[in-house]
Structures are given as structure tokens and as C-alpha cells.
Chain A
Amino acid sequence: MTDNANPLKVESPEFGGSVYDWSWFRTGMRQILSLPALILVSGFIGFGGLARESGVSVWEMIYMVPAIWALPSHLLVIAGIGAGASLVTLAPAVILASVRMMPMTMALVPDIRLPRSKTWHLLAVSHLVAITAWVHVLQRAPDIPRAGRLPYFVGFGVMLVMSSTLAATLVYEAAASFPPIVMAGLYFITPIYFATSLWNSSRYRAEHIALGLGFALGPAMAMILPEANILAGGIAGGILAYGIHRMFFSQSGKR
């Protein structure tokens, strides 16, 4: 485990300095056939329909899916555009909603880097950090030689991005020819998929309270602050839930 203890100084040939083993790239790509990947792609099937309804063009959506690559941010952006939100309320909401990318990246980097990995390699690869690939690679990393981990992660991540973009684009283009009830069903996948997966990925008990409060306060705030209701409801719900966490759960609050 010397590589974990002192990742920047180990230079034994076993770890190959900064020579990645790209044969793992294809192994990573094949994980596109796993269940979590299929669920994620079906979430983007719903997203394609939502994006169309919110008024963004197909090219804007094709840009947005890979460039943002975080479904909560995608949803915030199209909900904001649909509701006519200004940049001043939308950007802070996305910033706050995607803070989780930072600890996720911090947890992954020590697992996939090599002793002499360039920082720009890691900056580029970090773009693929999002919940599905992240959970999967953290779980599988111990079974993969260190030199193969970054290629494996990139292979899986790139396949997820391409499949999701393709799925969203096909639905966007085909939406007009679907009966309305089919479209309604497709739109509905994303909210329920997200509600359940967020519930499963929460780390503290009071985080479930945060989810409930956000769900209730977001719409409630629409009566007071119609253009910033998501931001206002989300912040209020998060702070309230944190207060509850500190008062009742802080000793044993971990799930």
C-alpha cells in the first residue's frame, strides 16, 4: 500500500510513473451494459423531452449534456430557462447544487492517479466525475491495477457521456411524433429517478429531511419569489435540515 501512503514519491516500475495501461479503457467502456448505466441513460431519455419542452434548441442541448455532465445541474439549467430565471439566480443555484463534485473528485483522485500523473490529466479526467461512474470506479478500483484505473474510468465515463447525449438527442428529435401520454411518461422518469437515487446516496439521516424540505419549500417559495424559488427553497431547506442535524443527530448522525 505504499502507493497510497505516499503517492507522489513512489516510482517503482510496477506503477510505471505516468504510463497508463490503456488496455483497461475497453474494459471500462464495456460497463455501459451495467444496470446503473442503463438507468442513467434512461434518465437522459427523460431529459431529452424536458429540454425540448423548456425551449432550448437541440444544439444547445447537445452542447449542455457533455459540457455540464451532472444531471442536477442540467435540470436546474433547463428549469431555470423554462421559468425565465436570470443568470444572477441561476448560476448560484447551480454552484450550490454541484458542490458535491468537489468531495467526490477528492475521493477519486488518490485512487486513480499515478506517481507522476500530470495535473492537467487529472483536471481533464475530473470532468467525468458524476455519480454513476464515480460510485462504480470507487467500488472496482481495488481489483484494477493502478495503471489501469484512470483508463478504466475514462472508458466508462466517455461511454456514459456519449450514450446519454445520443439518447437525449434521439428523444428530443422524436418527441414531436410521440403521443403526448408517452412524452409525459418520459418526462416523469427523471424526477422519480432523481428522488430515489438521491435518497440512496445521502450520507446523514437528516439529509433525508433536507430532501423533504427542499421538495416542499421550493414550490412554496414560488408564491413569494417566483424567479428564485428553487434557490431560496433549497437554501432554506438545507439550513433548516442542518440545524435539525446538529440538534438531534450530530452524535450519531451518520447513516
Chain B
Amino acid sequence: MFYDSFQAWWWPFVFITLAGVVPTNMWRWIGVVVVGRLDESSEWLVLVRFVASSLVAAVIAQFVFFPSGALAAAPLWLRLGAVAVGFISFLGFGRRIIVGVIVAETVLLSGMSLFAKF
């Protein structure tokens, strides 16, 4: 079943509910119900934490490698370069998120004004 499987107006809402709302909220509900009954330092939860982090990194990469729309006008090397320089600045300046965001944006936007084809 896909996002565009049915033409009905309500289908996208059902799709979003099944693909995103229930899969996210079930963990919050489970958390409330099992609180105090589950060992939070269990190895299972450590493995799960690693998989969750890696998955979110894969999502980030999806937007950098396969962007749609306006960002696709920037070449791949520029997108990757902007992320890399932004990230290194973030690490170099005391892991301040705002530094990473500003540097990455500056590299991307100045690169795009020179190289991007609209």
C-alpha cells in the first residue's frame, strides 16, 4: 500500500496515521505503561538506540543526497561540502548547533549563488 494507492481525500491521512502517527506514539504509550518495570540499561535497548540513531542519520543523508525541488539545483559536491564544513565547524566550536547551521548555510548559499543553475 502506497501514499497514492487510493484517490479518496481521506487516504493520505490514513496513510500518515499508519506510517507515522501510530508507529511513533506506540512507544510513548508503552513507556507510560511499563515505567518502573523495565530495566532501562538492558542491552536490547542499547542495540535499539544504535539502530534508531543510524536510521535517523540515513534520513538526513536522504535529504542531502536525493533532494527535491530548489535544493536539487545545488550540485551534490556542494551539498556534501556544506554539510561537511558546517559539521566540522560545529565540532570545532564547542559543539554549538547554531554554529553548524550558520556555517553550513553560508557555504551552501554562497556556493549556490556562484554555481547553481535555476
| Residues of A with C-beta under 8 A to B40 | 103, 106-107
A122 shortest CB reach to chain B, Å? 5
* A80 is an interface residue with CB less than 8 A from chain B: yes
In the bound complex, how far is the Cα of B28 from the Cα of A126, in angstroms?
A: 6
Convert A39-69 into 0s and 1s, putting 1 for each residue whose CB lies closer than 8 angstroms to a CB of B. Answer: 1001000000110111111001001100111
State whether A39 touches B97 (Cβ < 8 A). Answer: yes
The dominant DSSP class at the A interface is helix
A161 shortest CB reach to chain B, Å? 14
* A167 is an interface residue with CB less than 8 A from chain B: no
Interface stretch (choices A9-17, A26-34, A137-145, A228-236): A228-236
Q: Which of B30-63 contact A (CB under 8 A)?
A: 30-36, 38, 40, 45-63
A207 shortest CB reach to chain B, Å? 5
Instruction: Name which of A52, A90, A122, A195 has the most chain B CB atoms within 10 A of its CB.
Output: A195
In the bound complex, how far is the Cα of B45 from the Cα of A198, in angstroms?
A: 17
| Residues of B with C-beta under 8 A to A96 | 48, 51-52, 55
State whether B21 touches A67 (Cβ < 8 A). Answer: yes
> Which residue on chain A has the smallest CB distance to residue B116?
A181
Convert A198-218 into 0s and 1s, putting 1 for each residue whose CB lies closer than 8 angstroms to a CB of B. Answer: 111011101100111111111
Instruction: Name which of B23, B34, B45, B86 has the most chain A CB atoms within 10 A of its CB.
Output: B23
> Which residue on chain A has the smallest CB distance to residue B102?
A192
Known: A84-B3, A238-B53. A181 touches B112 (CB 8 A): yes
B41 shortest CB reach to chain A, Å? 10
Known: A235-B54, A245-B46. A70 touches B24 (CB 8 A): yes
* A159 is an interface residue with CB less than 8 A from chain B: no
Convert A61-91 into 0s and 1s, putting 1 for each residue whose CB lies closer than 8 angstroms to a CB of B. Answer: 0011001111011111101111111111011
Number of interface residues of B (CB under 8 A): 78
State whether A77 touches B54 (Cβ < 8 A). Answer: no
In the bound complex, how far is the Cα of B25 from the Cα of A183, in angstroms?
A: 31
> Which residue on chain A has the smallest CB distance to residue B19?
A90
| Residues of A with C-beta under 8 A to B25 | 68, 101, 127
Q: Which of A135-172 contact B (CB under 8 A)?
A: none
State whether B73 touches A192 (Cβ < 8 A). Answer: no
In the bound complex, how far is the Cα of B41 from the Cα of A180, in angstroms?
A: 47
Of the residues B23, B36, B51, B60, contact of A73 by C-beta under 8 Å? B23
A196 shortest CB reach to chain B, Å? 4
A241 shortest CB reach to chain B, Å? 5
* A119 is an interface residue with CB less than 8 A from chain B: yes
B29 shortest CB reach to chain A, Å? 6
Question: CB within 8 Å of B: which residues of A?
Answer: 35, 39, 42, 49-50, 52-57, 60, 63-64, 67-70, 72-77, 79-88, 90-107, 109-110, 119, 122-123, 126-127, 129, 180-181, 183-185, 187-200, 202-204, 206-207, 210-219, 222, 229-231, 233-239, 241-242, 245
23 A-B contact pairs sorted by A residue (CB < 8 Å): A42-B101, A53-B69, A64-B20, A68-B21, A68-B25, A70-B24, A76-B59, A87-B2, A87-B15, A94-B19, A96-B48, A101-B25, A102-B31, A180-B70, A187-B67, A191-B60, A199-B95, A215-B60, A218-B57, A218-B62, A237-B51, A239-B50, A242-B46
